[in-house]
């Protein structure tokens, strides 16, 4: 039987999202990802899906990701012990990107945290969205480290992402009662809408484009997906194009560009560490992270633009011009928007300067490359 490429699980044992039957109906090529049978691409192919998202609007099924509400007195302050973001200063209905950290400053997962309105008793509530492959470990960690708080995992909610320059208008047309609110919704904000509809909207995403992430009950997911796909501006997009889009946008993929050995500073994510947190510390791994903020890390995540047309993949070694191995790739592929191969990887700090000439070793052959600023393609988030 086919197996999950990331875990060796037989396809029959993989979990399904609420849109599984629709993916099959639309002709998706399915494969195992993080324990789920997921659409990798549709008949048009990854290249066409990528370009459509950049030009119009793409609909992604990301229901495999974990959603949960962490609640209780002092929830934000308690969670700050595990992340370096400023959550105490996070306004209601606003969202921050951050990382769950281990005691040595490594990244256990990256996640989104949204401050919800307090519950009926006035207790704080934080809505979390975490990566699919890490959600069980993340939830176990939160329960173990923050036993005074309540963690409600939202097992019966689907998650869709509508991304691209036409996403806002397509979503407004699908939700006419909320059209004005959708048009005005700021980037990295949240809108729960009317309780009767139970459709939650974030203006966010992981493609570098404007767009929305939509959380809704499992039973409503297929109806909503079909309604959005009935719009000529919207097409279904698989995980293949999601990966090439996030790579062009210079965004990390957990388990590849980030892991338990990588600090946020090494990962070029120092911008996500709040000013107050830098001054006060008090989070897991603070000793290492604050030292790296002050002195600089031993290695840094960089973007590489390769000469020619041959892409390089994760694991390829990075060499200085004298042949010294100075790092390795963590993500790589062909960037359709640039029509050039690009990659991200970690390079020794002494070699991690913009414009530096390096070689990426592919099948024993050095491919010339140079360090360029990230993102490779400018972000077009709503501002």
**pLDDT tens digits along 230-239:** 999 999 999 9
Distance CA 209, CA 380 (A): 5
Tell me the pLDDT tens digit for each residue of 308-324.
999 999 999 999 999 99
Tell me the β-bridge partners of 325: 319
Query: Residues 235, 47, 368, CA angle at the centre, nearest 5°?
Result: 150
By percentage, how much of the chain surpasses pLDDT 70? Answer: 96
Integer angstrom CA distances of residue 196 from 121, 177, 193: 21, 13, 8
Residue 12: the pLDDT is 66
Looking at the chain, the number of H-run helices and the number of E-run strands are: 10, 19
Kindly state the average pLDDT of the residues 98-121.
97
Q: Where in the chain is the domain with CATH 3.30.1360.120?
A: 11-60+156-248
Candidates 379, 131, 359; CA nearest to 248 is 379
State the pLDDT confidence band at 11, using cuts at 50, 70 and 90: low
Where are the CATH 2.40.30.110 domain residues in the chain? 298-377+379-383
In whole angstroms, how large is the CA radius of gyration of the chain? 21
Confidence band for 383, pLDDT divided at 50, 70 and 90: confident
Q: Does the domain at residues 11-60+156-248 carry the CATH identifier 3.30.1950.10? A: no
Give 166's pLDDT tier (boundaries 50, 70, 90).
very high
Q: Which residues contact 112 (CB under 8 A, 6 or more apart)?
A: 95, 96, 97, 98, 128, 129, 202, 204
Query: In the predicted model, what is the mean pLDDT of residues 333-340?
Result: 98
Is residue 208 left, alpha or beta, with left meaning phi > 0 and alpha meaning psi from -120 to 50?
A: left
Q: Which position has the higher pLDDT, 196 or 62?
A: 62
- Over residues 321-345, mean pLDDT: 98
Q: What is the pTM of this model?
A: 0.95
Mean pLDDT of 252-269: 98
Query: Can you name the CATH fold of 298-377+379-383?
Result: Elongation Factor Tu (Ef-tu); domain 3 (2.40.30)
């Amino acid at each position: 039987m086919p197996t999950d490429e990331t875990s060796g699980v037989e396809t029959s044992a993989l979990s399904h999202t609420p849109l599984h039957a629709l993916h099959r109906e639309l002709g998706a090529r399915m494969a195992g990802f993080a324990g789920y049978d997921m659409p990798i691409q549709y008949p048009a192919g990854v290249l066409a899906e990528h370009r459509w998202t950049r030009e119009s609007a793409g609909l992604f099924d990301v229901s495999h990701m974990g959603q949960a509400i962490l609640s209780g007195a002092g929830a934000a302050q308690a969670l700050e012990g595990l992340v370096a973001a400023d959550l105490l200063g996070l306004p209601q209905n606003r969202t921050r990107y951050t990382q769950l950290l281990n005691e040595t400053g490594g990244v256990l997962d990256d996640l989104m945290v949204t401050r919800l309105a307090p519950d009926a008793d006035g207790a704080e509530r934080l809505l979390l969205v975490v990566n699919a492959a890490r959600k069980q470990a993340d939830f176990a960690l939160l329960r173990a480290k923050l036993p005074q708080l309540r963690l409600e995992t939202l097992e019966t909610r689907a998650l869709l992402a509508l991304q691209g320059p036409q996403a806002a208008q397509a979503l407004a047309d699908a939700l006419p009662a909320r059209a004005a609110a959708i048009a005005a919704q700021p980037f990295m904000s949240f809108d729960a809408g009317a309780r009767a509809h139970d459709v939650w909207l974030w203006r966010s995403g992981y493609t570098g484009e404007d767009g929305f992430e939509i959380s809704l009950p499992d039973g409503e997911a297929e109806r909503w997906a079909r309604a959005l796909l009935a719009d000529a501006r919207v097409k279904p997009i698989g995980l293949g194009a999601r990966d090439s889009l996030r790579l062009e946008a210079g965004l990390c993929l957990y388990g590849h560009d980030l892991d338990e050995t990588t600090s946020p500073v090494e990962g070029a994510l120092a911008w996500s560490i709040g000013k107050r947190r830098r001054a006060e510390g008090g989070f897991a791994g603070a000793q290492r992270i604050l030292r790296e903020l002050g002195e600089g890390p031993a290695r840094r995540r960089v973007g590489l633009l390769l000469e020619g047309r041959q892409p390089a993949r994760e694991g390829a070694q990075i060499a200085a011009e004298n042949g010294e191995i100075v790092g390795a790739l963590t993500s790589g592929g062909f960037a359709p928007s640039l029509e050039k191969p690009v990659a991200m990887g970690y390079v020794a700090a002494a070699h991690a300067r913009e414009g530096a000439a390096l070689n990426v070793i592919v099948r024993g052959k050095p491919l010339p490359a140079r360090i360029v600023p990230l993102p490779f393609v400018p972000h077009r988030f709503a501002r």
